[in-house]
Copies of this chain bind each other. A is one copy, B any other.
Amino acid sequence: MTGKSIQDLLTPAFIVDLEKVKKNAHVMLDRFQKLGVQLRPHMKTHKTLECADIMTAGTRRCIVVSTLAEAFFYADHGFDDILYAYPLPFDKVARCAELSERLSLFHVLVDCSAALEELKKQPLTRGKNWHVWLKLDCDNGRAPAALHLAKAISETPGVELTGIYAHCGNTYGCSGEEQIKAVAQDTTNFTLQFMDKLKANGIHCSKSSIGSTPSCSHPVPDMALLSEVHPGNYVFYDVQQSMIGSCKLEDVAVRVLTRVIGHYPHRNQLLVDCGWTGLSLDSGGRLPTGYAVIEGHPDLKLLSMTQEHGRVEAISGQLDYEKFPLGSLLTLIPYHACATAAMHPVYFIHTDGVVVDTWTPTRGW
């Protein structure tokens, strides 16, 4: 496969521009190194070893995962200091205990007292403590309840309150750097104020982390007072992030290659070989260009998809079929890279259009 031109790949194919990935990863590492904040990159967008190596600059330490399957995948390949940033699932406590005992650092997330009770029922062996991050909900004013829970965690034998975790998910409603920064500032303030309250109440907790690709792409100076950040999507970026203002469209590192497989002049449509198995249904087709941006063809719209077919039409006027012969390639820029990557059992990694590697993601839970 390596050495092949991406133009010769069987389609649909998920292609990843290695130089852009490296650049996106480097910019984020560099940005937070300068701020003196630990970057703990999230793996959920790509779920591969290779990309994790790039995002951690080869340290294989200090990552976030969204599933226990990812946690085991990375642990099995020498990664450590893994934060399972998911409200502790009661069916998976025993598996979490297994990882806590195996790894030097495995962190779980707790957002309610019932979860703490589950941890108490499953004390760790080998003199280990549960490393717990408390999830802070920025959307509502439950800080008193969170303080109460933090105190309970810190007072529980065998359990250590390691950090405070806030996800500024509301940056996804932003448009432009100014709005992103306003949310980043709010989330930072909220988190730092909570850290102050912990201190004032004599509750020891060493770490605080906020995340999301938008806020970490445009950090505010006060984020330097946090100990960590945990963005993930930035390594690929996508159309959604470019619309929010996290990146430029040219920073997006991933594409889906598809081929024209039908001409339907009576409907003024083209058929392409990418359906929802190759792109996902994310965006709901609500972009002006439908379900994706078709690179180099702002006049085309990916109107609808079935399992293995996509229908493309001209946004205005008649399609010029001579420009799109059967078998010719179109390049889709995904609306949501996490959702598109999740559909592919293998990613084709290229430099300047030449395949240099393939990456195999982990799946499941």
Contact = CB atoms under 8 A, between A and B. Distances in A.
A263 B339 CA distance: 26
A326 B365 CA distance: 18
Contacts of A365: 10-13, 273, 278
A96 B240 CA distance: 37
Given A86-B308, A89-B11, A281-B280, A326 B114 contact: yes
Contacts of A277: 342
Contact of A263 (B13, B68, B112, B345): B112
Contacts of A13: 365
B89 A307 contact: no
B87 A261 contact: yes
Contacts of A87: 261-262, 271
Nearest to A285: B284
Contact of A261 (B12, B89, B278): B89
A364 B348 CA distance: 13
Copies in the complex: 2
A250 to B, nearest CB: 25
Nearest to A363: B345
A251 interface: no
A188 B148 CA distance: 69
A35 to B, nearest CB: 27
Interface in A252-280: 259, 261-263, 266, 271, 273, 276-278, 280
Given A12-B365, A115-B326, A281-B284, A44 B90 contact: no
B364 A112 contact: no
A341 to B, nearest CB: 11
A321 to B, nearest CB: 11
A44 B276 CA distance: 13
A66 interface: yes
Interface in A298-319: 307-308
Nearest to A13: B365
A9 B92 CA distance: 10
Interface in A111-135: 111-112, 114-115
Which are the 7 A-B pairs with shortest beta-carbon distances? A90-B327, A281-B281, A345-B363, A345-B364, A87-B261, A114-B326, A66-B308
Given A8-B91, A273-B365, A344-B364, 6 more contacts: A9-B91, A86-B308, A87-B262, A114-B326, A280-B281, A307-B338
